[in-house]
Structure 1
Amino acid sequence: MYEPEKVRRAGYAPMNVEVGRRGLHTRQSIVRSAARLFLERGFHGTSIDAIARAAGSSRATVYQYFEDKEGIYRELAAQCVPAVLDHANRLGPLGPDADGMHNLFDWLEQWAALYEDHAVVLLGFPGLGPSAGIETTDYIADQYVSRVLDRISTAPVGAVSPEDVAAAVVRIAHMVNLYRYRGMWDLPSADAVTASLTVALQLLLFPDTPHAVLETVGPPGGSTPTTSAAPAGPTAAAPSTPVSPVRSDIVAAASALFAERGYYAVAMDDIASAAKVSRATLYRHFRTKVAILSELTEWAVVEGAGLAADLQGLADSGFTRDSLHAWLGRYVRFHRAYGSVIQTWYDGGLNRQLADAVGTGIGPFQEAATALLARSGLPRGIDIRVGAAIFLSVLGRLTELTMTKRNVDTDYDSADLMLEVLRRALRMSFDDENGTHGGRPRLDQ
C-alpha cells in the first residue's frame, strides 16, 4: 500500500514538524477509519467528527494530519493509483478468437478482485458520487479509460468508434460490479458475473465471435440461467405534497442545479436565485435542501414508474428496433431531469427513507429489463440477472457519457449509441427481424 515518504502535520501543528512512528500509526488509523465510513455512509454522509470517533482520535487530531475530508479521500485515491493503472495495463490482446476472449475474461476477473480491494475509490469511478470535484480520482478514471482505449484501438471493433467502445466497456464493467458489490438485483457470485460480462463485452467488441468461442467461457457448471422475469416490486405512490407553481419552479430550478454541479455543491441561496424567489419564499416551501431532494425524488419515482411501465409493455406485447429506440430517447430525457437523484443515492449519503424511495423507483426498470430480455432471448453464457444489470448500466452510464463526453444534437442521438451497445452486447432481437439478429441465428435458438 502506498505510504507517503514523509508525513507532516498540517493545521494546528507547525508545518516543519515531521511525524514519528506513533504519528504515522495515527494517520493510517484515520485513513482506514475514513475508508470504512465512506463505504458504509458515502463520502458526503461521513463527517470529520465521525472519522475522529472511529479512529479513536479527536477532531483536532484529524485536522493535524489532513486539511479536510477531501484530503483523506485524495490519499485513499493515491494508494489506489498503482493497482488501478496496473490493471488497465493487464488487458491483453483482444480478438474474436479463444485467446482474445480469455484475455478479456482474465481482465474482468481481476476487475472483480480490484473492486474488493479498492471499492472505496472505485465507487467514485468513473463519474459517480465521492469523486465529484476531487482531481486525483478524475485523473485515475481518465488514465484508466485512456489505457483501455489504447488496447481496443488495435482491435477491429466495427461501426462503433473505439472511444465509445472503450467508454462502454469500462462503464458497464464498473457498474455491474458496483451492483454486485452492493448486493443489488440478486446477482450471482463474482465468478458467474464475470463469466456473463465476458460474453457480453466480447460480443460488444466482436459481434461476429463464433459460437464455439463464446462457449469457452460460461457460467459455473455450464448451466443455462433461467429467463423468468423478476417478481413485481412495490408500486410507486403519487407525490403526497400538493404542487403549487412556485413550489414547482423551486424544485425544477434545484433539479437543474443538482444536475449541473452535483447535489452537495448547491446551496439554498443558489436555489433561491435560480428559481427567482426570495429566501423567505424558498424557506416557506422547503426548510432544508434535503426536503427539496425528497420532493424531487417523489417526482422521479412517479415519472420513472410510468417509463418503466412502458418498457414492461414493450416486453409484454413485443418491440421493434424503432419502438425500443424511441423508448431509449425518452429515458435520456428522464435521466437529464433526475440523474442527480440517482447519482446522489449511489454515493450512499442519503437517509434511509430517501434511499428506499429511489430504490423503489429503480426496481421497476430492473423488472422490465428482465422481462424484455426474456422475450428477446440472450446468448448462452449470460445470466439473465447480469443481462438486466448490463441493460441498466447502459441506461445510466451511457446516458451520462453522451451528455458529457460527446456532441449530440438530440436525446435520440444519445439513444443511437445505447441501442447499438445493447444490440451487440446482448444480441437483442426485434420483432421486425423475424427472430434473427442482423441476419444471424440467435445463439439460444
Structure 2
Amino acid sequence: MSANPITRRASYGPSSPEIGTRGANTRSKIVDVSLDLFSQVGFFNTSVDAIAKAADISRATLYQYFPGKDEIFIELLEECGRALFRVARRIGPLGPTEVGFDNLNWWLGEWSWVFEKYSTMFIQWTAVASSDTAVRPQISRFIGGYNNLITTRLETSEIDGIDPVAGAMVMQAMVHRMNLFMHTGRVYGRDTQSIIDAVSVYLQLVLFPDTPASVLNSLALRPSGGTEIAIPEPPSTEGLTTEDRIAGLSTRAVKTVRTLIEAGATQFREKGYHRTSVDDIVEEAGFARGTFYKYFSEKQDLLVTLSTQALDGALDLAERIRHIDPMAEHETALRQWIADMAEFSAHYAGSIDAWTQEGNDRDLVYEFGAHGQGMMDASLFTLIDRKRDYPLDPVLAAVLFRALVSRVPAAAQELPEPMSEEQFVDLIILCIRRGFFSHLLT
C-alpha cells in the first residue's frame, strides 16, 4: 500500500481560499443555471444531474461546490436577501407627507425590481420552506432579519395605532403576496407600476390613515385597466369530488376515503405537495399502500379531489363576505369570516400552493384555483368599490384585500412572539378599515 494518505479535495464554498477564478466562475455558473431550471420546471422537479448537465460539469464536480440543490437554493436566497436588505436600508423617512409617501413608493418600486430578478425564489420559497429541508431555517432567519429592519424604520417614523412589529409584518406579507400574484398571472392584466402604486396607497393609509388626499394625489399615480373582475369559467368537477368518490361505497370504505383525503391535506400542508409521497399519506392515515391505490390512481388524483373541496370552501367564503359590512359598528360577522378564512387557508395551504407551483401537472387544479380566486375577488370588489378622492384601482384593491386575509394570519404565526387568533383578527380589521376606508373614518 502507498504510504501517502488519500485526502479528499476541500469543498469550494464561497469563502474557500482555494477556489480561484476558475472555481468562482464554475460556482457562479452552477447557481445561475439552477435559477433557470428552478424557473422552468420548479425546484422539486430539478435534479442534481440536470443542474450538472446545464452547467456542463460532472455530478462529482458539482458536489465539490454544493452538497445538494437545497444548498444552491440557500445561496440564491442569500443573494436575493442581500439585494432586499440593501434596498431596505435606503428607505427614507416615512410619514403622512409628500416626502414620506414618495419614500414608500420608491421602496416598493425597488422591492419589485428585486422580486422581478429573483421571482423564481419568491414564488417557490413558501413551498420549499414548508418541506422538510435545510432551507426552512434560512428562510425564517431571512424573514426575521428583514422584519427587524423594517420595524426599526417604522419606529423612527412614529406610526400611531399599530405596533411597529405588526406593521412591518403586514408590509412584508402584502408586498410579497402582491408580487407573487403579479408573477403568477393573478392581477387581471395590471402592469408592474400600477401594482406598485396601489400597494403604495394601501400601505400608506394602513400606517398613516390621516394622510391627506392631496398627498396621495401628489405622485400622479395611475389606476389602470378595466373596472370589472374577469372570472375564469369554472371547470367541471363531475366524477372528481369527494361525494363522487364515495358514492355507493360501504360505510367503512367511505370513512377510509375521507381519512385518506384528510391525510393528504395534512401532508401537503406540512411537507408541500412535491415532497409528499404516497407512503407519507398512507402512514399519516394508518393504512397500507394498497389501500390508497384502491381509491386513487396517484397523488395528483388526490390533489384534484382536495382542490374540489377547496373550491367549495372558497365559493362559500366569497358568498358570505358579500353580505358583510366591514364598517359596521358590530363586527361579529366580519370577525367570524376572517377567522374562518384563516382556518380555510391553513387547512388547504398545501393544495393552494400547488395551484401556482411551476412544474406541477396542474391544468385542472389551476383552473379550480383561478375560478375560486376570481369569485372571491369579485365579492371583495363589491365591498370596496366606493368613491374616493384619491387614486386606488378598485380591482387591485380587491386583490389587496385577498392578499391581506389569506397571508397575514400565517405571517402572524411566524413572528418571534406569534399572535393569537384574536390579535391577528384585530390587526386585519384595522388594516381593512384604514387601508380601504380611511376616508370614512372619523
TM-score, normalised on structure 2?
0.83
Indicate whether 1:314 and 2:323 are aligned: yes
Aligned to 1:443: none
In structure 2, relative to structure 1, the CA distance for the partners of 1:45 and 1:310 (3 Å cut) is farther
Indicate whether 1:34 and 2:34 are aligned: yes
Aligned to 2:204: 202
> What residue identity is the alignment partner of 1:343?
D
> What residue identity is the alignment partner of 2:245?
P
> What residue identity is the alignment partner of 1:230?
I
Aligned to 2:43: 43
Indicate whether 1:421 and 2:431 are aligned: yes
Aligned to 1:129: 127
In structure 2, relative to structure 1, the CA distance for the partners of 1:52 and 1:207 (3 Å cut) is same
- 1:96–1:208 contact (8 Å) kept in structure 2: yes
- 1:149–1:162 contact (8 Å) kept in structure 2: yes
Of the three residues 276, 287, 291, the one matched with 2:286 is 276
Deviates more, 1:198-207 or 1:301-310: 301-310
Please report how far the alpha carbon of residue 22 of structure 1 lies from its aligned counterpart in structure 2 after TM superposition: 4.3
In structure 2, relative to structure 1, the CA distance for the partners of 1:283 and 1:175 (3 Å cut) is same
Of the three residues 167, 174, 182, the one matched with 2:184 is 182
- 2:228–2:395 contact (8 Å) kept in structure 1: no
Matched residue of 1:67: which SS?
coil
> What residue identity is the alignment partner of 1:155?
S
Please report how far the alpha carbon of residue 276 of structure 1 lies from its aligned counterpart in structure 2 after TM superposition: 2.4
Task: List runs of 5+ in structure 1 lacking aligned partners.
Answer: 1-11, 429-435, 440-445
Please report how far the alpha carbon of residue 252 of structure 1 lies from its aligned counterpart in structure 2 after TM superposition: 0.9
Please report how far the alpha carbon of residue 217 of structure 1 lies from its aligned counterpart in structure 2 after TM superposition: 2.5
Aligned to 1:5: none
In structure 2, relative to structure 1, the CA distance for the partners of 1:45 and 1:378 (3 Å cut) is farther
Matched residue of 1:192: which SS?
helix
CA RMSD of aligned residues (A): 2.9
Distance in 1 separating the partners of 2:41 and 2:428: 32
Aligned to 2:376: 365
Please report how far the alpha carbon of residue 146 of structure 1 lies from its aligned counterpart in structure 2 after TM superposition: 0.8
Please report how far the alpha carbon of residue 61 of structure 1 lies from its aligned counterpart in structure 2 after TM superposition: 4.1
Matched residue of 2:46: which SS?
coil
Aligned to 1:437: 440
Aligned to 2:245: 242
Distance in 2 separating the partners of 1:153 and 1:392: 27
Matched residue of 1:427: which SS?
helix
- 2:108–2:200 contact (8 Å) kept in structure 1: yes
Aligned length: 412
- 1:250–1:282 contact (8 Å) kept in structure 2: yes
Cα distance per residue 1:91-141 (max 9 Å; x no partner) = 22111112211111111111111212232333356xx22344413333222
Distance in 2 separating the partners of 1:335 and 1:74: 27
- 2:409–2:424 contact (8 Å) kept in structure 1: yes
Please list, as runs of the form range in 1=range in 2, the aligned pairs for 1:293-312 lying within 5 A after superposition.
293-311=303-321
Distance in 1 separating the partners of 2:353 and 2:140: 16
Aligned to 2:249: none
- 1:237–1:302 contact (8 Å) kept in structure 2: no
Percent identity over the alignment is: 26
Distance in 2 separating the partners of 1:140 and 1:177: 18
Distance in 1 separating the partners of 2:77 and 2:11: 25
Of the three residues 350, 353, 361, the one matched with 1:343 is 353
Aligned to 2:394: 384
In structure 2, relative to structure 1, the CA distance for the partners of 1:309 and 1:13 (3 Å cut) is farther
- 2:384–2:398 contact (8 Å) kept in structure 1: yes
Distance in 2 separating the partners of 1:404 and 1:273: 28
- 1:91–1:148 contact (8 Å) kept in structure 2: no
> What residue identity is the alignment partner of 1:249?
T
Distance in 1 separating the partners of 2:200 and 2:337: 27
Please report how far the alpha carbon of residue 309 of structure 1 lies from its aligned counterpart in structure 2 after TM superposition: 3.0
In structure 2, relative to structure 1, the CA distance for the partners of 1:234 and 1:65 (3 Å cut) is same
- 2:190–2:224 contact (8 Å) kept in structure 1: no
Aligned to 1:15: 10
Indicate whether 1:142 and 2:137 are aligned: no
Aligned to 1:161: 163
Please report how far the alpha carbon of residue 284 of structure 1 lies from its aligned counterpart in structure 2 after TM superposition: 2.5
Deviates more, 1:341-350 or 1:145-154: 341-350
In structure 2, relative to structure 1, the CA distance for the partners of 1:180 and 1:231 (3 Å cut) is closer
Distance in 2 separating the partners of 1:68 and 1:392: 36
> What residue identity is the alignment partner of 1:145?
N
Q: Which runs of 4+ in 1 moved over 6 A?
A: none
In structure 2, relative to structure 1, the CA distance for the partners of 1:29 and 1:391 (3 Å cut) is same
- 1:95–1:206 contact (8 Å) kept in structure 2: yes
Distance in 1 separating the partners of 2:44 and 2:149: 30
In structure 2, relative to structure 1, the CA distance for the partners of 1:96 and 1:318 (3 Å cut) is closer
In structure 2, relative to structure 1, the CA distance for the partners of 1:41 and 1:379 (3 Å cut) is farther
Distance in 1 separating the partners of 2:371 and 2:62: 38
